[in-house]
Structure 1
Amino acid sequence: MADATVEERVHETIERLTSAERRAARGLLANYPMIGLAPVAEFAKSAGASPATVLRFVARLGFGSYPEFQRALREELKERTKSPLERSRNKPREDGGNFLDRFVAQLAANIAATAARIPEAEFEAACRRLADPKRSCHLAGGRFTDALAMYMEAHLRLVRPGVRRLDGRMAARTDQILDIKAGDTAVLFDMRRYDSEMLETASLLRKRRAFVILVTDEWISPISRFAKVVLPCRVSIDRTWDANTAMFAVVEAMIARTTELAWPTASPRISANE
């Protein structure tokens, strides 16, 4: 867990925490990461826990001290906001050899790290929710991730009814959200430099009592505070641009598993389409 973000550590340990420590965890997730950068007494007051509980919680995450925990949060903030231009300044010099081989090896490592990091229970919960035809499903993504939402929508429409992608324009999307019912499922995609309109969308979905599934990067979008399931994917490589390959792999896996779970109703639907 040493290379995991603080938010990933919280998601990985939350089921093993005491009830008091969970209050601290939920307080952090509800105002992530800013409350963690506050003094311990302020963090405790905001989370409805004692300072001693906050310190125990930080220790359970694997940090030796509260300052060490805060340093990790500050480093995350730097990584979250890095632009492609900033990342290119640290790009390593070419070392010869086959660029494509090296690049694909990085992508494969990202996929493996993503699969290892996502808890099986979280993945299964997302797919079982998507396989339930009684709950409408809504998808949306940002500038570079809306293509993932479109791809997933195209497949899910073959598997089950009640699937639609939310409009890219916020005004039209807000109108669509008015039709979302409590218990509906929403899959949102968001990666670093996080989309403020996607955050607003997640907030509106929460008010409609939708079940939000977030597919995000290793630093975890602020949308996580509104999500029931969070699937973090490794996107960073030592290049100018982040790579969505691991996110796409998770989408493919969700489509495959959802199809298996929904097969009794999906099979005649696919057959009719053929």
Structure 2
Amino acid sequence: MTMEQNRQDLMKLIQLKFSRLSKGQKLIAEYILKHYDKAAFMTAAKLGQTVNVSESTVVRFANELGFSGYPKLQKALQEMIKTKLTSVQRIELSSDYMSEENVLKSVLKADMENIRATLEKINDSTFEDVVNSLFRANRIYIVGYRSSQALADFLAFYLGLVLDNVRLISNGVSDVFEQLLRVKENDVVIGIGFPRYSSTTVEALKFARSKNAEVVAITDSLLSPLASSADYTLIAQSNMASFVDSLVAPLSVINALIVAVGIREKQKISETFETLENIWDEYNVYTYKNKSTI
């Protein structure tokens, strides 16, 4: 089901239920139908205040639509719009529910919620399958653009310390398809992407799939365009905080992936870091040097 279908289904549900709603609930319905983008980021109290009804009326409205509570309705609204908003629209919306005084706590709480939701959604068996695929792979390609590029860089850096066959698809002179030119069966391509999804990453995974490579997607939903080309999909929630994408939960999943690979290659990684420590000391890579005790 596409995001557009989700929007149409929820809007249609509200329209179908409209005649049976109370006077106060109809005010809520009318506001959501006209301003669903703003309603998605309002608390029940804020939405009630906006249309001059009580918070309990908002909760009952959500129940009338078949949701177990207002947070479930709010989540449905957020899922419906998160791929459609421009950065300017995100800024405008965030100003309605987030002030300078509460921004720190609001963002930290949102990130905590993203990690909690990721714990519930991610599939342990799929995670194990991804780890196994990395050890089977001839070559491992990592793709991530826009805000996800930082995640791709992080994964490639640490995974490259453990495995010798890791290649980061860079955002440089070479076109992404040139860098994936020799991808083939028994290779693994990891694509990282969150709303608003990079079309380059989506097309890169489609290309890898056409070459019979195993494809791993690290994304926010099985409905993500990355997931449609993937053999394995690792779900990490990434609800936005204003114009900034929240990448805390995706980074945690990537950390877990790196650690899982490292545990299987414990001896090798110990030797690697022992060598690196000597190099770092010799070339003053860090300001602090390890000194042996007497």
The yes-or-no answer on 1:112 pairing with 2:116 is: yes
String of CA shifts for 1:224-272, please: whole Å, max 9, x gaps.
1110111222211453332111111111111111111232443333434
Show the counterpart of 1:215: 218
Correspondence 1:267 to 2:270: yes
Q: Structure 1 residues 211, 73: CA separation in 2 closer, same or farther (over 3 Å shift)?
A: farther
Deviation at 1:150, TM superposition (A): 0.7
SS, match of residue 147 in structure 2: coil
| CA shift digits 1:165-202 (9 cap, x unpaired) | 01225853212212223111111111112211112111
Which structure has more relative contact order (CA 8 Å, sep 6+)? It is: 1
Judging changes above 3 Å, is the alpha-carbon distance between structure 1 residues 236 and 33 closer, same or farther for their aligned structure 2 residues?
closer
Q: What TM-score comes out, normalization by structure 2 length?
A: 0.62
User: Structure 1, residues 99-146: CA drift from partner, whole Å, max 9, x if none?
Assistant: 32332122111111112110111111112222x165311101011111
**Helix, strand or coil: the match of 1:260?**
helix
Pairing of 1:1-274 with structure 2 (within 5 A): 76=79, 78-91=81-94, 92-94=96-98, 98-130=102-134, 132=135, 134-169=137-172, 171-218=174-221, 220-237=223-240, 239-274=242-277
Q: Distance in 2 between matches of 1:215 and 1:164?
A: 17
Q: Which range moved further: 96-105 or 137-146?
A: 96-105
CA contact (8 A) 1:214 1:231 kept: yes
Q: Is the Cα–Cα contact under 8 Å of residues 136 and 186 in structure 2 kept in the other structure?
A: no
Matches of 1:146 and 1:191 in 2, distance apart? Answer: 11
C-alpha distance in 1 between matches for 2:158 and 2:86:
32
Runs of 4+ in 1 over 4 A off after TM superposition: 32-38, 72-77, 94-98
> What's 1:25 paired with?
none
Letter of the 2:180 counterpart: I
Percent identical: 22
Q: What runs of 5+ residues in structure 1 fail to find an aligned partner?
A: 1-27, 39-63, 65-71
Distance 1:237 1:244 in 2: 9
User: Which deviates more, 257-266 or 103-112?
Assistant: 257-266
Letter in 2 for 1:178: L
CA contact (8 A) 1:133 1:161 kept: no
RMSD over aligned CA atoms reads 3.2
State the TM-score, normalized to the length of structure 1.
0.66
Name which of structure 1's ranges 220-229 and 157-166 shifts more when overlaid on structure 2: 220-229
Number of equivalent positions: 212
Equivalent residue letter for 2:109: A
